[in-house]
Amino acid sequence: MSLALAADVVLALLILGLAIWTIAASETYGAVVGFVAYGLLVALVWVRLGSVDVAMTEAALGSGLTGLLLLGAAAHLAPLEAAEGRGRPGPGLRLLVGALCVAVTAGLAAVVLSLPEPAPTLAPAVAEHLATLGVKNPVTGVLLGYRAVDTLLETVVLVPALVAVWALATDPAWGGRPASPGPKVPGSALTLLAQTLPPFGILVGIHLLWIGADAPGGKFQGAVVLAAMWVLVLMAGLRRPPALAGRPLRWLIVLGALVFIAIGLSGVWLAGAFLAYPEGLAKPLILAIEIVLTPSLAVILGLLLLGPPVADRGPGA
Amino acid sequence: MTATTLYGLCAAALVGLGLYGLICHPGALRKILAFNLLGGGVFLLFGVIAQRGGGALTAAGLGADSDPVPQALVITGLVVAFAATAIAVGLLRRLAEASRQTTLYQAPPEQKS
């Protein structure tokens, strides 16, 4: 067994161990901590699988922001956790479910072991026309060129998702501010971090957006880093979450999707199909979409994390 | 066995584990966690398939060692999964606020004899 494969085996076993811990841990908070560690290791697996773009998204979004969201909920709901035992299915039913889940795993494993050789792939088709798009990162080419309609739908679907989260507010809180994501402790290490890290974080976010055309990175990764910086400042209590009734904020939320749709529609006139880019203008249009989408995505992701507005009871309420 | 197959099997196990947690855990937050594990397993399966189909790009000197189409799908999927998790957590916190419980369990009605 080569050294690299040995490392892969250790990584896979660690991931499975953490996944079992996440399912089996008796306290939810501990389970979420296990989940965050699991997410970071999965990001390493993505690097091993040659998907650096996905690795960055997984580390920042799948592990980071999702972990933060779940940690907040776990801490908030911990007092109610003791009552959860009542709904637990009996041992017989658990055994049956376990057996069926093992069957699902066995089926998937059989599929993995019998995947066709040579593997079917769209990579040559992507590589062939990538030059006409003017970008060098094939993943960006797929996201904003060949499958731009998927990306458009996803960008649009984030807006109703945010509306759905806001709709959970009580009537008097509608349009108010979300709860501050952390207790305000002036002078703590978190304050120092929130004062020094954001300039660098914002630079990294913009860098990720900018190099996304040619190297791993792009608007999603950049937006997640920007959102994380924003949430960090809010967690340290240096700024209050914004009032959600504000016009500029709402315009910022829909701006990315609107520009994307507008460029898509202009393709109908200029290039003969929805989301088609006119000859020679592909690169500038892709850049325009990415640059406008990034702040919209960052704000939407941050607001999804903050949750619905609450009745304004002052900072930390 | 290659590393890609190994991670494929790992992904299959993650799907099974997540499915079990999703069905058997009474707590809604644990169900959300398990659902994310399940999703992580599905995404990894995509990654395995992408890795297997990668050779052409390496040959063309584009650096990436993996089929970009599944990669793009997974990036889209991760963002949507986060949005879905945020809605689920929001619903759960509202449920806890309204009914002081974190499960969907309802005590069976008392039998009258």
Cβ atoms of B83 and A157 closer than 8 Å: yes
Band the pLDDT of A128: cuts 50, 70, 90. confident
Q: What is the separation of C-alpha A78 from the centre of its chain, rounded to a whole number of angstroms?
A: 25
Q: Go through the domains of chain B in sequence order and give each one's CATH number.
A: 3-99 (1.10.287)
**Tokens representing A147?**
């499958």
Cβ atoms of A221 and A212 closer than 8 Å: yes
Instruction: Tell me how far apart the alpha carbons of residues A22 and B32 are, in angstroms, rounded to a whole number.
Output: 11
Residues A44 and A193 in one domain: no
CB contact under 8 Å between B85 and A220, yes or no, is: no
Closest CA to A142 of B91, B74, B16: B74
- Beta-carbon contacts of A295 under 8 Å, excluding residues fewer than 6 positions away, are A223, A226, A252, A255, A256
Q: What is the mean pLDDT of residues B88-111?
A: 82
CB contact under 8 Å between A126 and B85, yes or no, is: no
**Tokens representing A274?**
């929805």
The pLDDT of residue A145 is above 70: yes
Instruction: Tell me how far apart the alpha carbons of residues B73 and A191 are, in angstroms, rounded to a whole number.
Output: 37
CB contact under 8 Å between A16 and B13, yes or no, is: yes
The pLDDT of residue A80 is above 90: no
CB contact under 8 Å between A109 and B8, yes or no, is: yes
* Tally of domains in chain A: 2
Residues A7 and A131 in one domain: no
| Full DSSP string of A14-55 | HHHHHHHHHHH-SSHHHHHHHHHHHHHHHHHHHHHTT-HHHH
Residues A127 and A72 in one domain: no
Instruction: Tell me how far apart the alpha carbons of residues A109 and A77 are, in angstroms, rounded to a whole number.
Output: 36
Q: Which of B3, B66, B79 sits opposite A220 (nearest CB)?
A: B79
The answer to whether position A248 is within a domain reads yes
* A-B Cβ pairs (cutoff 8 Å, strict): 302
**Which DSSP letter does residue A298 get?**
H
Residues A30 and A137 in one domain: no
Residues A71 and A132 in one domain: no
Three-state SS for A178?
strand
Q: Counting Cβ atoms within 10 Å, is residue A34 exposed (0-12), middle (13-18) or buried (19+)?
A: buried
Q: Which of A117, A121, A310 to mutate to test the interface with B (most CBs of B within 10 A)?
A: A121
pLDDT of B51-88, one tens digit each? 888 765 665 555 557 888 888 999 999 999 999 999 99
The answer to whether position A114 is within a domain reads no
The answer to whether position A17 is within a domain reads yes
Instruction: Tell me how far apart the alpha carbons of residues A281 and A266 are, in angstroms, rounded to a whole number.
Output: 12
Q: Which of A65, A105, A147 to mutate to test the interface with B (most CBs of B within 10 A)?
A: A105
Q: What is the mean pLDDT of residues A283-297?
A: 90
pLDDT of A6-46, one tens digit each? 999 999 999 999 999 999 988 899 999 999 999 999 999 99
**ipTM of predicted complex:** 0.89
The answer to whether position A232 is within a domain reads yes
**Amino acid making up residue B21:** G
Residues A72 and A153 in one domain: no
Q: What are phi and psi of B32, to 5 degrees?
A: -65, -45
Question: For tokens 């889209």, what's the residue?
Answer: B76
**CA dihedral sign, ordered B23, B29, B33, B39:** positive
Domain boundary residue, one of A77, A106, A134: A77
Name the β-bridge partners of A309: A178
Instruction: Tell me how far apart the alpha carbons of residues A144 and B79 are, in angstroms, rounded to a whole number.
Output: 15
**Tokens representing A47?**
């690097």
Most confident of A228-242, A264-278, B79-93: B79-93
A212: domain range? 122-317
Q: Which of A88, A112, A143 to mutate to test the interface with B (most CBs of B within 10 A)?
A: A112
The answer to whether position A94 is within a domain reads no
Residues A72 and A137 in one domain: no
Cβ atoms of A53 and B12 closer than 8 Å: no
CB contact under 8 Å between A54 and B74, yes or no, is: yes
The answer to whether position A221 is within a domain reads yes
CB contact under 8 Å between A70 and B33, yes or no, is: yes
Cβ atoms of A145 and A276 closer than 8 Å: no
Which long-range CB contacts under 8 A does A69-73 form with residues at least 24 apart?
Answer: A69/A304, A69/A305, A69/B82, A69/B85, A69/B86, A69/B89, A70/A32, A70/A35, A70/B29, A70/B32, A70/B33, A70/B85, A70/B89, A71/A29, A71/A32, A71/A33, A71/A36, A72/A181, A73/B29, A73/B89, A73/B92, A73/B93
Residues A72 and A138 in one domain: no
The pLDDT of residue A313 is above 60: no
Q: What are phi and psi of B103, to 5 degrees?
A: -125, 170
Q: Which of B12, B50, B104 sits opposite A51 (nearest CB)?
A: B50
Q: Which of A116-125, A306-315, B89-98 has the lowest mean pLDDT?
A: A306-315
CB contact under 8 Å between B93 and A54, yes or no, is: no
CB contact under 8 Å between B92 and A73, yes or no, is: yes
Q: What are phi and psi of A309, to 5 degrees?
A: -65, 150
Cβ atoms of B16 and A15 closer than 8 Å: no
The answer to whether position A101 is within a domain reads no
Q: Which of B56, B73, B75 sits opposite A124 (nearest CB)?
A: B56
The pLDDT of residue B111 is above 60: yes
Residues A48 and A139 in one domain: no
Cβ atoms of B27 and B102 closer than 8 Å: yes
